[in-house]
Amino acid sequence: MLSVPSQWRLREQRYRLIGSKCETCGNIYLPKRTICPKCRRKGKIVEYKDFSGYGNVVSWTVVHAAPEGFVDQAPYILAIIKLKEGPKILAQIVDVKPEEVHEGMEVYKVVRKIQEDNPEGIIAYGFKFTKI
């Protein structure tokens, strides 16, 4: 069950792709981090930035047996997307037929409905990706 406070706490990460860059080693991370996993405490992450939302499909699958809360969306496409800035992210691809998806396909971030508590309850929105 969704709650209004949890939706407000998750607002930034549901709508924006915010990452960080370590000043020491130059690695870029998504989601944002305060300590670099490579450099540990020696690293200095100083830059938080929005990613462009553009990327390419690396791998994908079609989900036919969806978990509770997503049954109404099945079948749907889940893909590993390499963002233009470098990090990879797992996300749903929408507005595309499964047979149209291919390795290297260019995609961009859109905001869509993720799920709803019930027909009269809270609707959770977040980012998904679609074909350019």
First to last CA, the chain: 34
Q: Which range, 41-55, 94-108, 115-129, has the best average confidence (pLDDT)?
A: 94-108
Alpha carbon distance 7, 124 (integer Å): 7
Angstrom distance (rounded) from CA 47 to CA 33: 10
Q: What is the pLDDT of residues 28-37, one digit of tens each?
A: 888 888 888 8
**Phi first, then psi: what are they for 5, rounded to 5°?**
-60, -40
Most confident of 47-56, 71-80, 113-122: 71-80
The verdict on 75 and 120 lying in the same domain is yes
14: amino acid identity, one letter: R
Give residues with Cβ within 8 angstroms of 128, minimum separation 6.
91, 92, 93, 94, 109, 110, 111, 112, 114
Question: Are residues 63 and 107 located together in one domain of the fold?
Answer: yes
Q: Any idea which of 5-9, 17-21, 82-86, 88-92 has the lowest mean pLDDT?
A: 5-9
Are both 65 and 113 inside the same structural domain?
yes
DSSP 45-61: EEEEEE---EEEEEEEE
Mean pLDDT of the chain: 84
118 and 74 fall within a common domain: yes
123 and 59 within one domain: yes
Band (3; pLDDT cuts 50, 70, 90): low
pTM score, two decimals?
Answer: 0.80
Q: Are residues 42 and 107 in the same domain?
A: no
**How would residue 131 be classed by pLDDT, with cut points 50, 70 and 90?**
very high
Give the residue numbers spanning the domain of 105.
4-16+53-131
Q: How many domains does the chain have?
A: 2
- Asked if residue 95 and residue 41 are part of one domain, the reply reads no
Assigned token pair, 102 = 């291919």
Task: Judge whether residue 63 has pLDDT over 70.
Answer: yes
Position 30 scores a pLDDT of 87
Residues in the chain: 132
